[in-house]
Structure 1
C-alpha cells in the first residue's frame, strides 16, 4: 500500500477540522474561546505514544469508534483545565467531584461527536462511537493501547493541541485508528504515483532512524563516559507553516547543520537550557566562570552537537547507502520556534508540507534530555525511500545489512 503527500494532507486537514469543530462546541457551551495550535499525523512506535505528555496528571474522556473507520480517540485535559471548564458550564460544579466528572463527560461527548461526525461526513459512511468513559491518569497512561496493539508495533496517531487565549492551559485530541483500515484509506486517497511512498518503507525508515539515534547516543557515551539511551523516534507530517509551532516558545540551546546528499535538509540538536547547562558541565569537569549559560557551556554544547550530528547522519547514511555530508554545527540559543522558523521558511520555498523526524536521547546519570529534529527535503526523501529494498519488512529489527 502506498501513501502520497496529497492523501496525508487530506487526512491531516480532516483531523484539524475535527479539532476545530470540537473547539467550537466547547466555546458554544462554555464561552471559552480556544485555538487549534497544530495538528500532526505521526508514525510512531506504539510504546512511545504520548511520551510528550510528560509525567503530569491528566483528565479527560475516551471513546471507541467503529464503522467506516475504527479505533479509539481521547480528549485529554491538562491538570487544572477541567476546573475552569466545569465552572464555565456549571458554576460551583468543580467543588462536587461527581458533578465535575459528569460535566467533563458531557462536554467531551458533545465535543468528540463533532470530531467523529466530520470523518463520517468525509467518508460518506457511518461511524458510531461508544458513550464517553471518564479517565484520570498520569502522563502517557492516559492514552489507550490502541485497537490492534498485539498486531502492529507502529501506529498512526493524529494529535491536535488546543490552547485558549489568556491562560497557559489547554487540551489535546488523540485519535488512534486501527492500523490496517487507516492504511487502506490513505492508499485509496493516493493520487499520482510520482509522490507516493510505500507505507512499509515509512515504517522501516522510522525504525532505522532509531538506529541513527542509537549511533548518536553511542558517540555521546564514548565522548563523555555517560551511559546514554536513545528513546523516541517518530516521523510526523504537517503543513510547513505549522513546523515552528511544534517547538513552541521555550528557550532552547543547541546546534543546527545543513546536510546534503540523498536527502538534503537540516538537522537540529536541541536542549532546554537546564539540560544544556547540565550536560556541558558533565563534559567539562572544571569550575564555570559565571552563572547561567557561559561561553564555556556553549563551546561544550557545540562540540556535543557535532558528535551527535555525526553519529546520527552516519547511521542514516549507512541505512540509505548514500553519502550524506553536513556543514559545521552552528550554535543556536533562542525560542524553539524562532530557531526553526527560518529553516522551515527555506524549505517552504519549494514544498508545502514537511516530514519532521524527531528522536530523543536521555541519561540517568546526568539530568538532561536532547531532541534531534531532521527536516529533509520532501521530494528527496521520497527518492531515498524509493531506493530502499524492504522485501522483508517484518524483519526490520534484524541486521541492517540483511535488509537493505
Structure 2
C-alpha cells in the first residue's frame, strides 16, 4: 500500500495511535523531571519529506534531532526533534542548568536520555496496542540544520516512499511551552502490518 493513498479511516487510526503514544511519552517525561506537564492535543499528519524541514521555519534552522532505528516486527525509524529553546528548557527542568552557547557533552547526553525515555514510552504503547514486537535502538543525537538532520531518513527511505508520519506534540511545564515533534518512518510493509493488526483492511486483504 502506498502511504500517500491512506484514506481518512487509515489516518484516523494513525492519529489515535499518535495521541496515545504521545500521551504516554509526556507522562514518562513528567516522571523523569518530577514536575507536572500538560499536553496539547497532538497534531498528526502525513507529510512529504520535502515539507518537513519547513515545520521549523526553514531548512537552515538549527534543531536538535534524536534518531532511533525501529526494530522487531515493525521496521523503520523514529526521529524526535526539538527547537533550541525547547531543548534548553528541558535541560533547565531536568538538570537546573542554563544552556549558554553550544550544548555540552553532559547536556547532549541528557537530551539523548530524554529522547530515549519518550521514544521508548511511545513505542511501548504502540507495541501494546498492536501486539507487535517493537523496540528502538540506542539514541543518536545531532544538532544541525533541520534540512541536514531530516535528510538522513529521506535518503534511507526515499526509494520506498516520500511520505512521513508527523506527530506534533506541544506540552507546557509551568508557563513554558515546549515543542517536540515525533517523525515516525515505518517502511511500507510495516504500515500495512500495523493497520491490519488493528483490524483495518488494507487493499481488501
Report TM bin, short chain: 0.7 to 0.9
After superposition, residues 4-403 of structure 1 pair within 5 angstroms as: 5=2, 8=4, 199-231=8-40, 232-238=42-48, 240-247=49-56, 248-285=59-96, 291-349=101-159, 351-365=160-174, 367=176, 368-389=178-199
C-alpha distance in 2 between matches for 1:329 and 1:218? 20
Deviations 1:172-223 (A, max 9, x none): xxxxxxxxxxxxxxxxxxxxxxxxx564233122112210000000000011
Structure 1: 4+ residue segments shifted above 6 A: none
1:5 CA drift (Å) = 3.0
Report SS of the residue matched to 2:44: strand
CA RMSD of aligned residues (A): 2.5
C-alpha distance in 1 between matches for 2:141 and 2:164? 23
1:286 CA drift (Å) = 5.1
Deviations 1:280-305 (A, max 9, x none): 121012577x5442223212111111
C-alpha distance in 2 between matches for 1:302 and 1:246? 22
Name which structure has the greater RCO, CA cutoff 8 Å, separation 6+: 2
C-alpha distance in 2 between matches for 1:210 and 1:262? 21
Q: Assess, with a 3 A threshold, how the Cα gap between structure 1 residues 285 and 364 changes in structure 2: closer, same or farther.
A: closer
| Higher radius of gyration, 1 or 2 | 1
Under a length normalisation based on structure 1, what TM-score does the superposition of the two structures give?
0.45
Contact 2:161 2:188 (C-alpha < 8 Å) held by counterparts: no
Report SS of the residue matched to 2:138: coil
Report SS of the residue matched to 1:270: strand
Number of corresponding residues: 197
Contact 1:234 1:359 (C-alpha < 8 Å) held by counterparts: yes
C-alpha distance in 2 between matches for 1:322 and 1:237? 25
Deviations 1:39-91 (A, max 9, x none): xxxxxxxxxxxxxxxxxxxxxxxxxxxxxxxxxxxxxxxxxxxxxxxxxxxxx
Point out where structure 2 has 5 or more consecutive residues left out of the alignment.
none
Report SS of the residue matched to 1:328: coil
Contact 1:313 1:324 (C-alpha < 8 Å) held by counterparts: yes
Report SS of the residue matched to 2:113: helix
Report SS of the residue matched to 1:249: coil
Under a length normalisation based on structure 2, what TM-score does the superposition of the two structures give?
0.83
Contact 1:216 1:309 (C-alpha < 8 Å) held by counterparts: yes
Report SS of the residue matched to 1:307: helix
Residue in 2 that maps onto 1:129: none
